[in-house]
């Protein structure tokens, strides 16, 4: 369990950089995610070819993982859309609602017992976001997109938990990201028709950030996360993910000086989320001791 938690929090720390990189990359949200998936899938194919670690799975299992990959892609598009319409801090703070959505969805999907204490802890995060939503009108579109991002992230993690034993982490990651890449490729013409953009190709600087996003914040982070999921529950993973905003917001404050644009209610909301994380970590530690 100790090793799983270390890997989980290493992945969360790496994911904390994704928001900052998302703002640095000039592409719109769907193109950003499409290039991220393209680079990641190509890199995994390269690794499989030389390490010969690819594992064939059944058609039924393949379809499951491809479907989970669609959830990943949708989550990322909403997440980066939230950054484009608001800022890094707002989009990351919305991810704290993952815990609430997971507390509701995991029992329905995995046929396990509903834990009301988990719902109450998740509601603290919801209340924190609600405070920001109510008082910061200019961020409302970004907050709505961020909440959808959290919802699809909760779905993704819960279904991942059910299927984590299908193959090794990189094989699972490959099938999922291929599913997301195919979905976005098919969706792209309709998305661009509704929300046109002037830039379709990444700049040289964008390519550097995309490589960092794909190699470090996707392959390494997802590999650690999938390994951790074999030992920890989806809810524990998702509540721990509330630390991702902490890392990301600190980076956004340092790099972009976003604290100058945030009202005091942001910090009240953020405080509620920190309390939620702290209470759950205390609860998990107490249960482990027993």
pLDDT at 289: 58
Q: pLDDT tens track of the chain, all 290 residues?
A: 678 888 888 888 888 889 999 999 999 999 999 999 999 999 999 988 887 777 889 999 999 999 999 999 999 999 999 999 998 988 988 887 887 888 888 888 877 777 777 788 778 878 888 877 766 678 889 999 999 999 999 999 888 878 877 888 888 889 999 999 999 999 999 999 999 999 999 999 999 999 999 999 988 988 888 788 777 776 666 567 667 777 888 888 888 888 877 778 888 887 887 787 777 767 766 665 55
pLDDT at 165: 77
Instruction: Give the integer Cα–Cα distance in Å for 287 and 182.
Output: 42
CB of 152 closer than 8 Å to CB of 78: yes
Instruction: Give the integer Cα–Cα distance in Å for 129 and 147.
Output: 9
Looking at the 3D structure of the chain, how many domains does it have?
A: 1
Domain range for 98: 2-289
pLDDT at 281: 65
**In the block, which residue shows the tokens 């309709």?**
190
Instruction: Give the integer Cα–Cα distance in Å for 138 and 263.
Output: 11
pLDDT at 223: 84
pLDDT at 12: 85
pLDDT at 238: 59
Q: What pTM does this model have?
A: 0.87
Instruction: Give the integer Cα–Cα distance in Å for 117 and 83.
Output: 31
3-class secondary structure, 164: coil
């Amino acid at each position: 369990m100790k090793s799983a938690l270390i890997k989980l929090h290493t992945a969360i720390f790496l994911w904390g950089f994704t928001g900052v990189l998302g703002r640095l990359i000039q592409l719109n949200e769907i193109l950003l995610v499409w290039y991220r998936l393209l680079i990641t899938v190509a890199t995994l194919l390269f690794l499989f070819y030389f390490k010969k670690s690819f594992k064939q799975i059944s058609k039924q299992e393949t379809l499951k993982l491809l479907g989970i990959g669609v959830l990943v892609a949708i989550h990322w598009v909403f997440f980066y859309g939230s950054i484009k319409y608001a800022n890094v801090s707002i989009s990351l703070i919305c991810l704290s609602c993952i815990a609430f959505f997971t507390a509701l969805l995991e029992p329905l999907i995995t046929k396990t017992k509903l834990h009301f204490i988990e719902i109450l802890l998740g509601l603290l995060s919801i209340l924190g976001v609600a405070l920001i939503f109510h008082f910061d009108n200019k961020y409302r579109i970004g907050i709505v997109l961020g909440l959808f991002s959290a919802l699809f992230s909760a779905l993704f993690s819960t279904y991942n938990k059910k299927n984590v034993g299908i193959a090794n982490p990189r094989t699972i990651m490959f099938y999922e990201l291929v599913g997301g890449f195919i979905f976005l490729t098919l969706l792209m013409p309709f998305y661009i028709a509704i929300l046109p953009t002037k830039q379709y190709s990444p700049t040289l600087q964008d390519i550097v950030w995309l490589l960092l996003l794909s190699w470090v914040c996707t392959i390494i982070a997802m590999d650690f996360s999938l390994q951790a999921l074999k030992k920890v529950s989806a809810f524990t993973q998702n509540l721990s993910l509330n630390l991702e905003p902490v890392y990301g917001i600190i980076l956004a404050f340092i790099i972009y000086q976003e604290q100058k644009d945030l009202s005091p209610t942001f910090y009240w909301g953020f405080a509620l989320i920190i309390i939620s994380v702290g209470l759950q970590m205390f609860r998990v530690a107490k249960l482990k001791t027993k």
